[in-house]
Amino acid sequence: MSVPAAPHPVTLALDTATPFLTLALAWPGGERTWREEVGRAHAERLAGAVRDLFADAGLPFHADTLVIGTGPGSYTGVRVGASYALGLGRVWGARVLGVPTLEGLVGGLEGEVAVSLDARRENVYGAVYEVRGGVVGRVIHPPHKDSLSAFETLAAGRPHHRDPAPDGLALLRAGLDHGSEKWALAYL
């Protein structure tokens, strides 16, 4: 079920599905992002990075809405982020919205684009989207796993962005625009 976009005082977005730890924070009058390639150290870095993000923004450690990238990604990475977001949501009484991690890869793009993550052995996990204003406006081909050559055929000449670094604000905006409270995790 999709949740309608509404103004929220503070929104935190996080994604741990890729080798990057990706965070974004938005509040009335401001926004902040943070991203670092951490490999498999998401569990070790996540809590401290989130607290630092709030401190750098001069905000108390509390959000009204959390947005989580639901994958695809490594089994452990995806679960670390989801567990942390669900824990914070429960403590803060905040809703937790999920969106596919692939939607966080569209930052800075416009129009019809293909985005994908390496799924090993010449496979990718990809989707084709129409991006408007930095947010997925229409899903042309939903996220799925395929061979790289089959996915490039499916992309049909559209720009294909392979393994880009995630954009926390793209994920945050997607969550507020069409995130779901009923989400499931996806693994590579």
pLDDT digits (tens, 9 = 90+) for 17-58: 999 999 999 999 899 999 999 999 999 999 999 999 999 999
What Å distances lie between residue 7 and 4, 159, 174, CA to CA? 10, 33, 14
Question: Residue range 111-126: average pLDDT?
Answer: 95
Question: Residue range 168-186: average pLDDT?
Answer: 95
Q: Chain-wide mean pLDDT for the chain?
A: 93
Q: Which of helix, strand or coil describes residue 33?
A: strand
CB 72 within 8 Å of CB 186: yes
Tell me the pTM.
0.91
Q: Give percent of the chain above pLDDT 70.
A: 96
pLDDT (tens digit per residue) in 131-145: 999 899 999 999 999
- Whether the pLDDT of residue 59 is over 70: the answer is yes
pLDDT of residue 11: 98
Question: Residue range 51-79: average pLDDT?
Answer: 96
pLDDT of residue 10: 98
Question: Residue range 171-179: average pLDDT?
Answer: 95
- Whether the pLDDT of residue 1 is over 60: the answer is no
- Could you count the other beta carbons within 10 Å of the beta carbon of residue 169? 20
pLDDT of residue 134: 87
pLDDT band at residue 2 under the 50/70/90 scheme: very low
Q: How far does CA 182 lie from the centroid of its chain?
A: 15
Q: Which residues pair with 162 in a beta bridge?
A: 116
- Whether the pLDDT of residue 182 is over 70: the answer is yes
CB 163 within 8 Å of CB 116: yes
Please tell me the distance from the alpha carbon of residue 41 to that of residue 22, in angstroms, as a whole number: 12
pLDDT of residue 8: 57
- Whether the pLDDT of residue 112 is over 50: the answer is yes
